[in-house]
Amino acid sequence: MDLNALPLGRHVDYPSHYDPALLCPIPRALGRDAIGLGGGALPFIGHDRWHAYELSWLDARGKPRVATATLAVPADSPNLVESKSLKLYLNSFNATRVESDAELLSRIAADVSAAAGAPVQVALGLPVIDEGDEASAESIDGLDVAIDRYGPPDATLLAAQADDVVEETLSSALLKSNCPVTGQPDWARVVIAYRGPRIDRASLLRYLVSFRDHAEFHEQCVERIFADLVAVARPERLSVEARYTRRGGLDINPWRATPGHPLPVAGRDLRQ
């Protein structure tokens, strides 16, 4: 796929009517092949939870409505949905009359599901701003470490103690990567919950910072982190969630975990 052919990074006329063809699916296999996850059963479960802050449409009498929405794309869908195309698609409702909230949600679910290649859940409203996991997770950002590697991501930086099995949740707000087309920065807080050999925290921080100059989609970054941690630490259980900050009225929260891991509590960070 030629990423330069996508609307991302180019001037695009503002949509004046409802148009599901604006959605751009991108095969997940493109990113998974690069990290050795192609061609077999996925080693994780998960979803990509989108928060849409700028949703508007016209009711049956032409009066504008505004709302927010949450969309959940399953991680085992064949495609991810490119973010600017999702923004343009949602904006295409701005001058469109819709009979009811139920019809709006049905249309969005059907269109995004068709693009993703799997059923997508859609609901009006957003999760509450929830700092609960921040209280239970230990931030590693205060570690006094020297860092001089900012890309590409380097799994050799990771280390774990095989003889010291722990269960803990760590977090870092220092994850940054770049859009693979425009080069614009993407910022996130990542939460890593695991049971297994103790992951060396300084090595983990250096590893996460090594994404800083790396160009990759949000979903692919999280899958790379998951795959690298599995390869190095071999945990019994692992959950990786990244809460990316908003761009263009959307934020995305990819989550990947070992099968059987409970869903993370849906929430938003203060930065979102």
269 is catalytic: no
Residue 90 has what DSSP assignment?
H
Instruction: Name the burial class of residue 164, with classes exposed (0-12), middle (13-18) and buried (19+) by CB atoms within 10 angstroms of its CB.
Output: exposed
228 is catalytic: no
Q: In one letter, which amino acid is 169? A: T
Angle between helices 101-116 and 83-91 in degrees, nearest 10: 150
Asked if residue 16 belongs to a known ligand binding site, the reply is no
Q: Select which of 48, 111, 133, 186 is catalytic.
A: 186
Asked if residue 125 belongs to a known ligand binding site, the reply is no
Nearest to 255 by CA among 247, 79, 263, 137: 263
Bridge partner residues of 122 (DSSP): 71
Asked if residue 83 belongs to a known ligand binding site, the reply is yes
Q: Select which of 179, 221, 228, 269 is catalytic.
A: 179
Distance of alpha carbon 167 from alpha carbon 192, whole angstroms = 11
Asked if residue 239 belongs to a known ligand binding site, the reply is no
Nearest to 224 by CA among 155, 150, 141: 155
Residue 227 and residue 18 in contact, taking contact as beta carbons nearer than 8 Å:
no
| Burial letters 80-114, b for 16+ CB under 10 A, else e | bbbbbbbbbbbbbbbbbebeeeeebbebbbebbbe
Handedness of CA 253, 33, 207, 43 (dihedral sign): positive
Asked if residue 132 belongs to a known ligand binding site, the reply is no
H-only helix segments in the chain: 29-34, 83-91, 101-116, 132-136, 201-209, 218-233
Asked if residue 167 belongs to a known ligand binding site, the reply is no
What are the catalytic residues? 179, 186
Binding-site entries for substrate: 81-83, 218-219
Binding-site entries for NADPH: 83-84, 247-248
